[in-house]
Amino acid sequence: MMELLLDDADTVAAARRLHPGEAVADCLARAAWTVIAEPGDAVAGALIDALGAPEALSFALDDSASVRSTGHVDARAARALKEGRARWRPRATPKAVRDALRAAVDVDARLVVPGDPSWPEALGDLGPHAPSALWVRGRAELLVHEPRVSMVGARAASGYGEHVAAELAGDLATTGALIVSGGAYGIDGAVHRAALGVRGATVAFLAGGVDRVYPAGHHRLLQQIAEEGALVSEPPCGTAPTKWRFLARNRLIAALGQATVVVEAGWRSGSLNTAGHAAALGRPLGAVPGPVTSASSAGCHRLLREYDAQCVTSAREVRELWGQADAPPTGQDVADPNRRRVLDALGTRTRLSVEEIARRSGMSPDRVRAVLGLMHLEGAVAVEDAGWSRSTGTPGR
């Protein structure tokens, strides 16, 4: 199949557009592997690690190539290869690869492969289950942005869960953290919106192709992420999301984050799958507690009890998961406690009136106006018609 792909000028041109550079054969082979193998296929991953993507593809599809059964391990490898070929061959057509490449070109996607400046080395911790390539719409360089925190939770989130998720993600994004999630309803959507709302960075891993808008109700949100952040998928364009692919996608969310936080989750929530991957990879794991009577938080309490998750209730505590402490207070913060009180009163997402800031801080409105005026000149706060907020980059509480 490699020869047919390399002999097709249109296919090579599409590959060069998706991945500029001289390694066209590697690009085409890795694109082909995303077409023929399901996410996390360990046999495919082991072959690619051993032979390189082009040779592994040829070996996988060549009937005459075999693993010699000289012992117990080789017999097992031969059986795994035989089963792998049975899985891959029904999809192994040059047309399927061409269609994936053309669909990616149509949505202005990129193919990111190991060795690229935008390739996240953290995914290598997945071993043979690591992806062979990633399809990306948007800012591929965000995949190597630091720090990175994965935030997940229930789709059927409560008002409490969405509020806490948005506050945490907004604070973290304001101070430079990349928010990683899965683009789903509930907690995922809340953290993506919060990051975008403070002009922060966010990445959404999808279970289907980056050309497929799912869930449909998040069409506008996912489009905004593609424009300001990045949509990422392991399966190629045209692939439909399935339950299995959602579960496989979770391992990427866990691997990319330097820490994973579960904001709200039921006892059997799919977010626990992501948490399990994070724990298996040795990533710091945090969970937000909820009311003990709430079934929506039962999964978080289970993580705290059974998975040694850390209890997190603020952005500061989330940052501590990966060893980052808050920035020390400036001299102005120490010299003027009123400035600190105003900053503490301000939200990261919502705009507040002077009167509301005065109520929260326990200061008079006139004093609040004076402090806000000075802080606005310094760029520490921003003002719009809807009210005042902390500026991007201003340290949180």
What pLDDT digit, counting tens, does each position of 216-274 carry? Answer: 999 999 999 999 999 999 999 999 999 999 999 999 999 999 999 999 999 888 899 99
Element (H, E) at 99: helix 94-106
Instruction: Report pLDDT for 326.
Output: 58
Q: Report the DSSP beta bridge partners of residue 110.
A: 136
What pLDDT digit, counting tens, does each position of 113-156 carry? Answer: 999 999 999 999 999 999 999 999 999 999 999 999 999 999 99
Q: What gap in Å lies between CA 14 and CA 9, rounded to an integer?
A: 9
CB 43 within 8 A of CB 127: no
- pLDDT, averaged across the chain: 89
Domains of the chain: 2-106 (no CATH), 137-321 (3.40.50.450), 331-390 (1.10.10.10)
Q: What gap in Å lies between CA 118 and CA 372, rounded to an integer?
A: 40
pLDDT band at 330 (very low <50, low <70, confident <90, very high): very low
Q: What gap in Å lies between CA 219 and CA 214, rounded to an integer?
A: 7
What pLDDT digit, counting tens, does each position of 46-98 carry? Answer: 999 999 999 999 999 876 655 554 344 478 888 898 999 999 999 999 999 99
Closest CA to 375 of 343, 345, 329, 328: 343
Q: Report the DSSP beta bridge partners of residue 204.
A: 181, 231
Q: What gap in Å lies between CA 192 and CA 94, rounded to an integer?
A: 37
CB 309 within 8 A of CB 347: no
* Paired sense of beta strands 134-138 and 230-233, if any: antiparallel
Instruction: Report pLDDT for 23.
Output: 87
CB 213 within 8 A of CB 238: no
Instruction: Report pLDDT for 322.
Output: 92
> Which residue is listed with tokens 């795994």?
80
CB 254 within 8 A of CB 281: yes
